[in-house]
Amino acid sequence: MALFNKTISAILPFVPRTLAKPFASRYVAGETVNEALEIIRKLNDKGFATTLDILGEHTTSAEKIESVTQAYKELYDKISEAKLDCNISLKLTHLGMGFDDKIVEENLTQVLNKAQQHDNFLRIDMENSPYTDLTLNLYGRCLEQYDKVGFVLQSYLFRSANDLENYLGKKLNVRICKGIYQEPPEIAFHDREEIRENFISLVKVILRNEGYGAIATHDIYLIDSLETWIRNKEIPRERYEFQVLFGVPMKGRLEQLRDAGHKVRVYVPFGEEWYAYAVRRLKENPNLAGYIIKNLFTKRSA
Ligand SMILES: Cc1cc2nc3c(=O)[nH]c(=O)nc-3n(C[C@H](O)[C@H](O)[C@H](O)COP(=O)(O)OP(=O)(O)OC[C@H]3O[C@@H](n4cnc5c(N)ncnc54)[C@H](O)[C@@H]3O)c2cc1C
């Protein structure tokens, strides 16, 4: 079965978008803002906070960067109008980082002004290591002007413990995740247990100091260990939240966390660029391939 799933997940990126769509719809909240907001509403009604991301990265035209910036600003307006429990996560390469690093700062400022106008929050996602310094430097400059802005550290990077030390303080708001990109062994842990150990250590450093930590993982071992530690240390609920990606099966664990009084936030991506995102999710979890094929088959024969 494992080989079957691996083979299917290797082939699926080459299937036409129409065939990939049933798979993508599990992970992506549609192509349009309205579709996404409907899903956000449903998640809010179930007691989950949310963060919205417009899919896309590495934008390489000034016009497109301008339209992405505009779309993020309008998204804050729409979230406010609909009174949703929802903030925004974005990737700086989507706003022009790597294409024109001056433009990205101007655009980020525009988006942050809009967030501030609505008293909402912006999370800057972390991309692969060529962008780590650029992202952290820009985040540092944002912190001088804005309170409601956060960043992300990846527990697979050796440098993350040092990076965290540099930002400790009341204003700190950091998401800890394992890291999704392929990084070389010179700069990153590759051993699953080392990545986990560093994840736990980073979260504990945040919560022993000041600031806010977002614990972003589907790894039940990490969720259980940190939930127990948080309970034993009596860490106040306002200091942290758990985060997951929309559509990843969690077997009821999210509802348990919610019912135990923890804040749980779902990261909800949407937009026209769903195909690349869905393929990336599939590569992460080849076990899903069997499930997708079953779904496709069932739909066709129905
Ligand atoms: C809210 C959130 C925000 C993130 N932001 C960033 C970011 O800014 N930068 C970055 O580099 N990475 C980000 N990530 C991705 C993260 O770094 C990991 O690559 C991803 O979460 C998988 O690691 P894991 O901790 O869930 O553990 P894993 O050990 O990979 O997974 C634990 C379990 O969950 C299942 N699982 C995990 N992911 C999926 C999936 N997509 N589909 C189906 N099953 C899955 C696995 O099969 C496994 O059973 C984010 C993740 C989350 C949850």
Q: How many structural domains does the chain have?
A: 2
Q: Are 265 and 117 found together in one domain?
A: yes
Q: Which of 53, 123, 163, 175 is catalytic?
A: 175
Q: Are 240 and 288 found together in one domain?
A: no
The tens digit of pLDDT for each residue in 50-59 reads 999 999 999 9
* CATH assignment at residue 68: 3.20.20.220
The tens digit of pLDDT for each residue in 218-264 reads 999 999 999 999 999 999 999 999 999 999 889 999 999 999 999 99
Q: Are 223 and 175 found together in one domain?
A: yes
Q: Could you confirm whether 163 is annotated as catalytic? A: no
Q: Which of 123, 125, 196, 265 is catalytic?
A: 125
Angle, vertex CA 137, rays to CA 154 and CA 130, nearest 5:
55
Q: Are 78 and 189 found together in one domain?
A: yes
Q: Are 259 and 218 found together in one domain?
A: yes
The tens digit of pLDDT for each residue in 99-144 reads 998 899 999 999 999 999 999 999 999 999 999 999 999 999 999 9
Q: Are 199 and 231 found together in one domain?
A: yes
Q: Are 8 and 42 found together in one domain?
A: no
Q: Are 162 and 15 found together in one domain?
A: no
* Burial annotation 148-185 (CB, 10 A radius, 16+ → b, else e): bbbbbbbbbbeebeebbeebeeebbbbbbbbbbeebee
Q: Which domain holds residue 261?
A: 34-270
3-state SS of 220-269? HHHHHHHHHHHHHCCCCHHHEEEEEECCCCCCCHHHHHHHCCCCEEEEEE
Whether 225 is in the pocket of ligand 1, judged by its Cβ within 6 Å, is: no
Whether 157 is in the pocket of ligand 1, judged by its Cβ within 6 Å, is: no
Whether 248 is in the pocket of ligand 1, judged by its Cβ within 6 Å, is: yes
pLDDT at 299: 40
What's the predicted TM-score (pTM) here?
0.92
More confident residue, 169 or 177: 177
